Structure formats: C-alpha cells, structure tokens
C-alpha cells in the first residue's frame, strides 16, 4: 500500500486560485481530517487528488509514481476512490446497479456487494430500489459502498455528514470505524469538528486555499483548530499555541 504526497499544489477555477502552494503527505493506513470554512479549497483539493480537476501546478504522488496528470478513471485503478459531496448517484438505477458501477476488475480485495451490505445493513432491504427513492443516509451509504467496490487503498470522503440527521451520521461513522480499523487510508472533509477529531489521526486546517494548521489530533486543542478555521491567528502563533 502506497502513501500519498502532495507537493506545492496549485489548483484553479479559471482565474480563481482555489488551492495555493499546498504540500502535505499521508501515510498508509492514516486517517487525515481536512477542515476549514466553506470556500477554503477542501473539495477542490479532493477532486485534484482524485483526478477530477487537473492542477495548474505542483505534483500528486502515489508512492513513487507521479499521477498528477493521470485521468480520474485510471487513478481509481491505482487505488484512489472519491465519495463526492452530494453523493452523485444515478437516481434511476438501483442500489445494486450503483454499487456494481464501482467495481474495478483489476483491483483485487474483499469488497463486494455482499460485503457492502454487511457494512451498511440498512441497504439490504433497499438493494433493488432506485437510488432516487432513498433517504439521505441510504444515499450516503450507497455512495460510500460504490467507492469501496473498487477496493481502494485511499478513500476520499467529501462532507460525509452534510444534510444528514445526527442519528444517521452516527450510523455512517460507525461503519467508517470499521474501515479505519481495516487499514484503509482515509482523507475526510468534515464540517463537524468534533466528529472529525474523534476519528482522525491528524488534522489539516485550510484557509483560502492554504494550510494554516497541521497537527496530530492528540497534540492540538479544539480551540486552536477553531482559531485557525476562522483565520483569527497566524500560522506561527498557532504552532506555538499547540500543546
């Protein structure tokens, strides 16, 4: 299993620079939480890692391989899977059909439709239902399951709890705990700071496309992360404030 390295990444939407000279690394089996206000560049960063948005500059390395300009479908074959914000399911297709779309023959591993149903038992009675008829929690479970069907080494989760009730979020995170324990590398974008800190090994806070705080979760306080989140203090002050 390979680690992920981001080097001086610059990602733009036209003239808007959404990610600015951003660098970090993710070790195999690590869970990294990306936090920050709306517009901080988190979703753009995940899309750049997944190959859905090619960068203007910098590099994305998977192990020793430079995948910066490799298209998204080939990155899936190399072990990177994205669960996008908004789930992006095919509404007229069944849950089972959506799951099968995630299968990549070249990727070997334990994930199958049966394994997904084991992880998300709420999908069992809905397997033949059209995705457009599902609840928000069922749609999120299907989107995660579809990504898992590719047997990824690195799972990118964008706004996991967005639009879901607290009870449903509890269920999704209970399933996520199993993935973490299995050794899957996870990069998680999450607005709920408490939940992010509960599952992550390390946290990166982004502000206006830049990293303003990077720390092991055990070494930083919630207040320090919150201050970085809102840009209330400079990066050097934040580093000094971390316990």
* pLDDT higher than threshold 90 for residue 119: no
On whether the CB atoms of residues 9 and 58 are closer than 8 A, the answer is yes
242 pLDDT higher than 50: no
Give yes or no for residue 234 having a pLDDT over 80. Answer: no
Instruction: Report which of 139, 185, 141 is spatially closest to residue 26, judged by C-alpha positions.
Output: 185
pLDDT at 240: 46
Q: What is the pLDDT of residue 172?
A: 81
**In 3D, which of 168, 223, 230, 169 has the Cα closest to residue 195?**
169
Walk me through the domains of the chain, giving residue ranges and CATH numbers: 4-241 (3.40.50.300)
| Residue 235 pLDDT | 47
Q: Report the C-alpha gap between 128 and 228 in whole angstroms.
A: 45
Position 237 scores a pLDDT of 45
Task: Supply the pTM of this predicted model.
Answer: 0.89
Q: Mean pLDDT throughout 129-137?
A: 93
CB 207 within 8 A of CB 40: yes
The pLDDT assigned to 1 comes to 66
C-alpha–C-alpha distance, residues 36 and 193, integer Å:
9
- What pLDDT sits at residue 241? 43
Task: Write out pLDDT tens, residues 185-202.
Answer: 999 998 889 989 999 999
Kindly tell me if the per-residue pLDDT of 239 is higher than 50. Answer: no
> Is the pLDDT score of 70 beyond 50?
yes
| pLDDT value, residue 129 | 97
> What percentage of the chain reaches a pLDDT higher than 90?
70
Is pLDDT above 90 for 170?
no
Name the residue among 212, 215, 240 with its Cα closest to residue 228. 212
Of the candidates 136, 134, 137, the one whose C-alpha atom is nearest the C-alpha of residue 126 is: 134
Helix (H) or strand (E) holding 155: strand 154-158
Write the burial class of residue 38 (CB in 10 Å: 0-12 exposed, 13-18 middle, 19+ buried): exposed
- Across the chain, mean pLDDT equals 90
What percent of the chain clears pLDDT 70, i.e. is strictly above it? 95
């Amino acid at each position: 299993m390979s680690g992920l390295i981001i080097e001086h990444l610059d990602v733009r939407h036209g003239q808007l620079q959404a990610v600015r000279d951003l660098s970090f690394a993710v070790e195999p089996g690590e869970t990294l939480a990306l936090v920050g206000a709306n517009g901080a560049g988190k979703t753009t960063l995940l899309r750049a890692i997944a190959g859905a948005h090619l960068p203007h500059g910098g590099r994305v390395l998977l192990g020793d391989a430079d995948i910066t300009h490799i298209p998204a479908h080939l990155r899936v074959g190399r072990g990177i899977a994205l669960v996008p914000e908004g789930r992006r399911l095919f509404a007229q297709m069944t849950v089972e059909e959506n799951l099968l779309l995630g299968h990549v023959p070249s990727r070997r591993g334990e994930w199958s439709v049966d394994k997904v149903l084991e992880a998300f038992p709420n999908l069992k009675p809905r397997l033949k239902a059209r995705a457009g008829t599902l609840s928000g929690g069922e749609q999120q479970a299907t989107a995660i399951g579809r990504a898992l069907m590719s047997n990824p080494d690195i799972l990118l989760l964008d706004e996991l709890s967005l639009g879901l009730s607290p009870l449903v979020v509890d269920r999704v995170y209970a399933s996520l705990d199993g993935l973490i324990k299995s050794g899957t590398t996870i990069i998680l974008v999450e607005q709920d700071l408490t939940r992010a800190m509960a599952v992550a090994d390390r946290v990166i806070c982004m502000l206006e496309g830049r990293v303003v705080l990077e720390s092991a979760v055990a070494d930083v306080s919630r207040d320090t992360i919150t201050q970085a989140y809102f840009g209330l203090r400079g990066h050097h002050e934040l580093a000094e404030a971390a316990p």
